[in-house]
Chain A
Amino acid sequence: MIWRRITAWRAAPVGRREGARVSRAGLRDRYKAWLQHHRLSAADSMQRVLDNPVSSAMTWLVIGIALALPTGLNVALDNVSQLSANWDSPAQISLFLQDDISDQRARQLEQELAKRGDVAQTRFVSRQEALEEFRSLSGFADVLASLEDNPLPHLILVSPAGSTDQATAAALRDELQAYPDVAQAVLDMEWLQRLDSLMDLSRRLVLAVAGLLVVGVLLILGNTIRLAIESRREEIVIIKLVGGSNAFVRRPFLYTGLWYGVGGGFFAALLVAASLWFLRQPVSELALLYQSDFRLRGLGIMGGLNLFILGGLLGLAGAWLAVGRHLVEIQPR
């Protein structure tokens, strides 16, 4: 009986007598097996993550919060810049005319200005039009109705021609200020520029916060993976003893990191969407007060997808760091 078994073993097709070795399985087979091990590792790691739902959910949440914070701030900034983009040409000079200027004279002045070489465009807003606009936009209709006469002056909006750097626009403003009919010339660029630099500053702050939080995520993931490695130390030793390469040992842990990262990205997208939903109502009420049809812009499908990808990449990177540090230490003793 035993002898039959042994001879059957001896007659097996890839026996050592044919000179084949275990490490020389066919290239195609090895590729297929490699893919197979990826599938196995991915499924096994997923199973292990799901086997501990509470601790996994906590890891996901921590990563989710860390990713949601800069993402949310970025979405907010996008919304603000979307709002400010509605104000067209940043370099516009508002000419408030003297109170005693007639309609006719004001229109005449507008024509004159329009002929200037350094002026691209002019627009005349009469004091009546200005009042109407103010009434409809400001929400002070009742107060304005109680006024006996119109307190607003005529207005001419002047867009400078050519390149609108601040210096030339300011020079033009000074020239226009010198017109006797002009009470005040205001260059609108200044506060827009302030807003711009404020936005720039905010973006940089968000970037710095994001950088710190990314490092935090990497450390959290690294630590989680380190614990996973620690709990499977004996298994790793055995795999190394029977000839498992470092890549083979590394693979399941990389997938664990990937699942934690992708899950974290999902939670982050969820958190951002929830906060936007939470803010949507008051924002649209506020917009209504200003007679604006402004709507909060969300993350979008691409934004959500990017969060998934970012989370996954961070997961892989964190796992790679942990695995690189700890797997080398684990050697068969």
Chain B
Amino acid sequence: MISFDRVSKRYEQGHEALHEVSVNIGSDELVFITGHSGAGKTTLLRMIMLMERPSRGQVIIDGQNLAAIGPRGIPRHRRNIGVVFQNHRLLMDRTVYDNVALPLIIAGYDHRELGRRVRAALDKVGLLDRERAMPITLSGGEQQRVGIARAVVGKPKILLADEPTGNLDPALSAEIMRLFEEFNQVGVTVLIASHDLALISRLRHRIITLREGRLVSGSKP
């Protein structure tokens, strides 16, 4: 589903964020990416989202070489990928419902279908009763779950998460991870960048370790 082929990323300042990274991730996998900050975890995720492009090498997602997608194709590409951010990135002046509905509004859904799907997504993350709330009134864990609902509401094939448990206590973190596992069980490819080794080593999924932009372990399942 996701394939990196000798991908390098060198910034103009000369810093090399990724060096010759090759890795394949199957469509039924849940994979953790770990490493110290600056090891290249985020860069890897950003390349999948086309927020960045490799200096060398190829990224192929679902059979499509990302190099072939021009600037105008980026929105369409992103609509097929759900993303969860560490700092949630919710619209603070909109309700929970509106936040979760955003990807569907962008994709152009009829409002009845939209309501059904938004409620289904909110139900999954256990926030159905908070759809009228403003995000600011929610706890950190709840905000993160709104972010997850927004990421999955469009039923993407790929779900990316960048430090989704970064600001949460261990119990909440485990709960969030369980949620990701559930999505993986219904066939979503899940890719989670996290440096919480204690948590992710308990979960028995493949762990890709990066160090200073190089792949150290986890290139094969």
**Which of B7-15, B103-111, B208-216 makes up part of the contact surface?**
B103-111
Query: Which of these, B91, B109, B111, B182, contacts A238 with CB under 8 Å?
Result: B91
Nearest A residue (CB) for B125? A5
Given A2-B182, A10-B186, A36-B111: A244 touches B106 (CB 8 Å cut-off): yes
Residues in B whose Cβ lies below 8 Å from that of A241: 49, 51, 78, 83, 89
Q: Which of A231-274 contact B (CB under 8 A)?
A: 234-235, 237-246, 248
B76 at the binding interface (Cβ < 8 Å):
yes
From the candidates A16, A36, A234, name the one contacting B155 in the complex (CB within 8 A).
A16
Which of A22-30, A102-110, A188-196 is found at the contact surface with chain B? A22-30
Q: Which A residues touch B109, using CB under 8 A?
A: 25, 29, 33
A239 to B90: give the CA distance in the assembly, Å.
10
Determine whether the beta carbon of A22 is less than 8 Å from that of B83.
Answer: no
Interface residues on B, range: 35 or more
Interface bits A1-44 vs B (CB < 8 Å: 1, else 0): 01001101110101111000111010001101110110010000
Cα distance A2–B123 in the bound complex, in angstroms: 10
Identify which of residues 72-119 in chain B touch chain A, using a CB-to-CB cut-off of 8 Å: 75-80, 83, 89-91, 102-111, 113, 117
Instruction: Give per-residue flags for A30-65: 1 if the beta carbon is below 8 A from chain B beta carbons, else 0.
Output: 101110110010000000000000000000000000
Closest CB in chain A relative to B61 CB, distance in Å: 13
Contact (Cβ within 8 A) B107 A243 = yes
Which of B91, B103, B120, B188 contacts A22, CB < 8 Å?
A: B103
- How many inter-chain residue pairs (CB < 8 Å) link A and B? 102
Residue of B at shortest CB range from A1?
B126
Contacts of B186 in A (CB 8 A): 6, 9-10
List chain B residues, Cβ under 8 A from A16: 155-157, 187-188
Q: Which of B105-164 contact A (CB under 8 A)?
A: 105-111, 113, 117, 120, 123-124, 150, 154-157
Q: Across the interface, do B110 and A22 meet the contact criterion of CB distance under 8 Å?
A: no
B75 neighbours in A (Cβ, 8 Å)? 240, 243-246, 248
Binding site secondary structure of chain A: helix
Complex: chain A residue closest to B152, CB-CB: A9
The residue in chain A whose Cβ has the minimal distance to the Cβ of B105 is: A37
| A332 in the interface (beta carbon within 8 A) | yes
* In contact, A15 and B155 (Cβ under 8 angstroms): yes
The residue on A at minimum CB distance from B82 is: A242
At the interface, yes or no: B217 with Cβ under 8 Å from chain A? no
Task: Give the complex CA separation of A67 and B156 in angstroms.
Answer: 50
Q: Roughly how many angstroms separate A23 CA and B154 CA in the complex, as a whole number?
A: 9
Q: Say if the beta carbon of B185 comes within 8 Å of chain A.
A: yes
The answer to whether B185 and A6 touch across the interface, beta carbons within 8 angstroms, is yes
Give, as a whole number of angstroms, the nearest-CB distance from A327 to chain B. 12
Mark out the residues of chain B between 45 and 76 whose CB falls within 8 Å of any chain A CB in the assembled complex.
Answer: 49, 51, 75-76
Q: Taking the nearest CB of chain A, how far is it from the CB of B86, in angstroms? A: 13
Contact A8:B120 (CB < 8 A) given known A17-B187, A235-B91, A243-B76: yes
The CA of A23 and the CA of B155, in the complex, are separated in Å by: 11
Question: Among A237, A242, A333, which residue has its beta carbon within 8 angstroms of that of B78?
Answer: A242
Instruction: Check B80–A29 contact: CB distance below 8 A.
Output: no
Q: In the complex the two chains form, is B107's CB within 8 Å of A32's CB?
A: no
* A25 vs B110: C-alpha distance when bound (angstroms): 9
* Chain A residues, CB < 8 A from B150: 242
Q: Which residue of A lies closest to B83 (CB)?
A: A241
Tell me the bound Cα distance from A36 to B109 in angstroms.
Answer: 10
Are A33 and B91 closer than 8 Å at their CB atoms? no
Known: A9-B120, A235-B91. A22 touches B155 (CB 8 A): yes
Give chain B residues whose Cβ lies under 8 Å from the Cβ of A242. 78-79, 83, 102-103, 106, 150
Given A33-B110, A239-B102, A241-B89, the answer on whether A22 and B123 have CB atoms closer than 8 Å is no
Listed by A's residue number, 7 A-B pairs whose Cβ atoms lie within 8 Å are A5-B123, A22-B107, A29-B110, A37-B105, A37-B108, A243-B77, A243-B107
Residues of chain A whose beta carbon lies under 8 Å from any beta carbon of chain B? 2, 5-6, 8-10, 12, 14-17, 21-23, 25, 29-30, 32-34, 36-37, 40, 234-235, 237-246, 248, 331-333
Knowing that A2-B182, A12-B120 touch, tell me 19 more A-B residue pairs with CB under 8 angstroms.
A6-B185, A15-B155, A16-B155, A16-B156, A21-B80, A29-B109, A33-B109, A33-B110, A40-B105, A235-B91, A238-B90, A238-B102, A242-B106, A242-B150, A243-B77, A243-B103, A243-B107, A244-B75, A331-B51
Binding site for A on B (CB under 8 A): 49, 51, 75-80, 83, 89-91, 102-111, 113, 117, 120, 123-124, 150, 154-157, 182, 185-188
